[in-house]
Structure 1
Amino acid sequence: MDLLALADFNLVARHGGFGRAARASGRPKATLSRRVLELEASLGVRLLERGARSLKLTQEGQAFHARMAPLLLEIDETVAALTSGKGAVSGRLRISAPLLFAQMALGKLAASFALAHPEVRLEITTEDRAVDMVEEGYDLAIRVNPDPDETLVGRIFLRDRLAVVAHPTVARPADGEPVAAVLRANPEGPASWRLKGNKHIAIEPRLYLSSMVMVREAVLGGAGAACLPASLVAYDVAAGRLTLWGDLDTPEIAIWALYPSRRLLSPRVSAFLDHLTAAFPKGTPDELSAYLVPAANP
C-alpha cells in the first residue's frame, strides 16, 4: 500500500476537504484528489462522500482514519527521532490535565518547560473528564486515580491524601455532634467523615461548591470544615490559617501521566515526563503544595 496515499487521505480527512488540505500542505488539490481515488481503488472501498459543496468521511473512512492517523504520526515521530541523531525535542505537545492540578502547578511547570525546550509548542487543556487521547489528538494526559485502560500506559508521578481542615475559629465538635461542612459534590454525599484511627466527624452541610479551590476559600473564610487534598492546604496549615483535624481514612490519591500504549514515546513527551519527575522527585503532597507558596519579596 502506498504510504504517500495514506498520508494524503489522512491530510484530507483531518482538514475536512481537499481545498483546505491543499492550502495547509502546499500540495495541489488535484494531486490530493487523485491520490485518494487511487487509495480507494486499491482498497475497493469508498472512503469519502463527495458532494457539490461538502465532503465527509464514509463509515469506512471514519474507521480507517481513526486507525491510520496515530500510526502515521508514530512513523513521522520515529523518522524525526532517527534523523535528528539524538531525538530533537520540538513540535506540538498537547496535554490534558485536571483543573485542580492545573490551577496549582501547571502554570509554573509550563513556563519552566518552555524555557528549557523553546522549540516545543506546548498546549494544555484543563478538564476533569477522561479524554479520548487518540481521537482528540492528545499526546499526554494527567489523570487522578484513572480507571484501568489497556490502550494507555504511563506512570504515577505524585501521590496525595485527603485531610479534614477547618478555620481556627471553628471548634472541633464533641462525639456525635455535627459540624458545619463545606462540600464539593452533590447533596447526597456522606453524613460523616471517617478519619484514620476509626474516628468519625458528623457533618451538617452548609455549602456545596463546584471546585476544590472554592471550597478552600470558603473554609479560609470560616464557613465550616472541609475535606481537601493535603497538598492544597498544607501551606495554610503550616501558616496557622487552617487547623488540621486529621487525614481521611481512604486510599491515597494517585496522579498519573498517561500516553497511548500503541504509540512510540516521542522525544517531547519523554522530555515532559522527565520534567515532571524533576519537579516532583519524591512525589509527595508537600512538593505539590510548594507551588502555592508565594514567592519571597526581593
Structure 2
Amino acid sequence: MQLDDLRIFVATVDARNFTAAADRLQLSKQFVSRRVMALEASLGVRLLVRNTRKLAVTDLGYEFYERATRILADVADAELAMSSQRAYPRGLLRVSAPLSFGMVHLSPLVGAFLSSNPEVRIDMELSDRVVDVVGEGYDMALRIGTLADSTLIAQKLAEFRMIACCSPLYRNTRRAPMTPAELARHPCLLYGEEARTGWPFEIDGMVRHIEVHGPLRANNGEVIRDAAIAGIGVALLPEFIVAGALESGRLVPLLEAFASRPITLYAVYPQHQQSSVTIRAFTQYLRERFAKGWGA
C-alpha cells in the first residue's frame, strides 16, 4: 500500500466522483479508478460501490477513509515539522468568495499578498452561489453567516454587523421606523433570501425574524445599496457593503437599538488541506487585514 493510493482514495471519497477527484489530483480518471481498484484488491474488501451517477461508500470504506485521513494528516504534520525552516507559501491557490465581498474587500488585498509571496498563484472565482469546494476543485472558500454541516474545516476570519439603513431623503420625507414591527409600513429592499426568511432583529433579548416586503429583491448587495441611496426604501445590508455610504452620509442607520448579533466570515477548506502552508498564510493574512475594519 502506497501513500499516493491513500491520497487518491481520500480525494475520491471527498469528491464522490472519479472525474472530480482526477481533476483535483491532476491525474486521469482511468488512473484514479485503477488505483482505487488496486487498493481494494490489496485490502480484500469493497470500499466503494460504483453506479452511473456517483459513488457510494461502504461501511468498511468509511472506516478506512477515517483512518487514511488521519494517516495522511500525520504524514503531512511530520513533513511540515521537518521542513518548517524552509516552508513557505507557493503553488496555485484556487479560491471561491462571495461576489460583493470579493469586489469591495478582497480585491484590494490580493495584489499585496501576491507581492509578498511571489511563488503563489491565485485562481479566484467571485460568485454568490455556494460552491462545492471539494467537488469543484477549490482549495478554499470564504463563507458568510451560519455554516451548513460539512466535513470542511472552518476558520473564523472576522465578524461584521448587519445594518438597517435608508437615504437621508427617505428618512426626511417619511417617518422612519422606530421599531422593527413598523417596517410593515415601509418598502423594504431585499437582499438574497430575505423575502423568505425575514430580517433578524434582537427584541427583548431574543433574535426575531421580521417579515418584510418591497419593490426590489436582488442577490447582489450593491444593487440593494444603490436603491437605498436612491431613496427607494429601507435596506438591511452587511457592514462591508454600506460602510462607505454611511461614512459619506449617502445612507443613515436605522433601528440601531435592535441590531442583531454580528455575523461571521469564515475560511473553509477540505480536511486534506489543513497542513497547507499557502492556505494558512493566506488565511492569516486576511484575518489580520480584516481586523483593521470595513471602511471603504
The alpha-carbon deviation at position 152 of structure 1 amounts to 3.8
| Candidates 247, 251, 267, aligned match of 1:242 | 251
Letter in 2 for 1:276: L
Larger mean CA deviation between 179-188 and 3-12 belongs to 3-12
Task: Say if 1:48 and 1:56, in contact at 8 Å, map to a contact too.
Answer: no
Name the CA distance, whole Å, in 2 between partners of 1:202 and 1:58: 42
Query: Is residue 268 of structure 1 aligned with residue 278 of structure 2?
Result: yes
- Write the mapping of 1:1-298 to structure 2, written as runs, cut at 5 A: 1-3=1-3, 13=18, 14-15=21-22, 21=28, 39-44=39-44, 75=75, 79=79, 82-83=82-83, 85-147=85-147, 149=149, 151-170=151-170, 171-173=173-175, 178-184=185-191, 185=193, 187-188=195-196, 190=198, 205-247=214-256, 248-261=258-271, 263-282=273-292, 287-290=293-296
Task: Say if 2:189 and 2:217, in contact at 8 Å, map to a contact too.
Answer: yes
Task: Say if 1:231 and 1:288, in contact at 8 Å, map to a contact too.
Answer: yes
Structure 1's 11 and 161: CA in aligned 2 closer, same or farther, altered over 3 A? closer
Letter in 2 for 1:265: S
Name the CA distance, whole Å, in 1 between partners of 2:266 and 2:128: 13
Name the CA distance, whole Å, in 1 between partners of 2:42 and 2:211: 69
Size of the alignment, in residue pairs?
268
Name the CA distance, whole Å, in 1 between partners of 2:245 and 2:90: 39
The alpha-carbon deviation at position 36 of structure 1 amounts to 6.9
Residue-by-residue CA offset, 1:86-136 (whole Å, 9 max, x unaligned): 312111222222223212212112221111112112122334455444444
Structure 1's 76 and 276: CA in aligned 2 closer, same or farther, altered over 3 A? same
2:295 is paired with a residue whose SS is: helix
For normalisation by structure 1, the TM-score amounts to 0.68
2:215 is paired with a residue whose SS is: strand
Name the CA distance, whole Å, in 2 between partners of 1:159 and 1:132: 23
Task: Say if 1:145 and 1:253, in contact at 8 Å, map to a contact too.
Answer: yes
Structure 2 portions without partners, runs of 5+ = 13-17
Name the CA distance, whole Å, in 1 between partners of 2:133 and 2:78: 19
Residue-by-residue CA offset, 1:58-93 (whole Å, 9 max, x unaligned): 7569x6898769976985786477347331211122
Of structures 1 and 2, the larger Rg is shown by 1
2:168 is paired with a residue whose SS is: coil
Structure 1's 217 and 10: CA in aligned 2 closer, same or farther, altered over 3 A? same
Task: Say if 1:92 and 1:121, in contact at 8 Å, map to a contact too.
Answer: yes
Letter in 2 for 1:237: L
Task: Say if 1:182 and 1:224, in contact at 8 Å, map to a contact too.
Answer: yes
Name the CA distance, whole Å, in 2 between partners of 1:196 and 1:238: 27
Name the CA distance, whole Å, in 2 between partners of 1:128 and 1:204: 22
For normalisation by structure 2, the TM-score amounts to 0.68
Structure 1's 70 and 173: CA in aligned 2 closer, same or farther, altered over 3 A? farther
Identical counterparts, % of pairs: 30
Name the CA distance, whole Å, in 2 between partners of 1:212 and 1:159: 17
Letter in 2 for 1:229: P
Structure 1's 45 and 206: CA in aligned 2 closer, same or farther, altered over 3 A? same
The alpha-carbon deviation at position 239 of structure 1 amounts to 1.3
Structure 1 portions without partners, runs of 5+ = 23-28, 50-54, 291-298
Task: Say if 1:163 and 1:227, in contact at 8 Å, map to a contact too.
Answer: yes
Name the CA distance, whole Å, in 1 between partners of 2:224 and 2:43: 57
Calculate the aligned-residue CA RMSD, in Å: 4.5
